[in-house]
Amino acid sequence: DGGITQSPKYLFRKEGQNVTLSCEQNLNHDAMYWYRQDPGQGLRLIYYSQIVNDFQKGDIAEGYSVSREKKESFPLTVTSAQKNPTAFYLCASSTTGTPGNTIYFGEGSWLTVV
């Protein structure tokens, strides 16, 4: 089935450690996104990529890094510089050629810093 796969679903990290969240899509979408959601809040854009080997900062990029070496994959690294990393992280993908309801989300990853 086509879709977006995020892993792991739950992740615990010690303070000072980097952690990488995986996002893979088989929808042949050019654009991919990472959003962060805090409890009771809406989503905020961390990074996005419109094409392989290119990515742009979103509204809250500090303390995060990404790469886009393959069209299907857009991993997010939460670095030790991110002061409050405990949150729910959602990956999404979309086409870039047509407007409308072509934005799909993965099931999310819960990150807890212990």
Partner 1 sequence: AQKITQTQPGMFVQEKEAVTLDCTYDTSDPSYGLFWYKQPSSGEMIFLIYQGSYDQQNATEGRYSLNFQKARKSANLVISASQLGDSAMYFCAMREGRGIQGAQKLVFGQGTRLTINP
Residues that bind partner 1 (CB under 8 A): 31, 33, 35, 40-45, 48-50, 56, 58, 88, 90, 92, 94, 96-108, 110
For residue 9, what is the DSSP state? S
Q: How far is the CB of 14 from partner 1 (least distance, A)?
A: 23
Nearer of residues 35 and 82 to partner 1, judged by Cβ: 35
H or E segment and range at residue 33: strand 31-37
Q: How far is the CB of 42 from partner 1 (least distance, A)?
A: 3
For residue 63, what is the DSSP state? T
Bridge pairing between strands 87-94 and 103-105: antiparallel
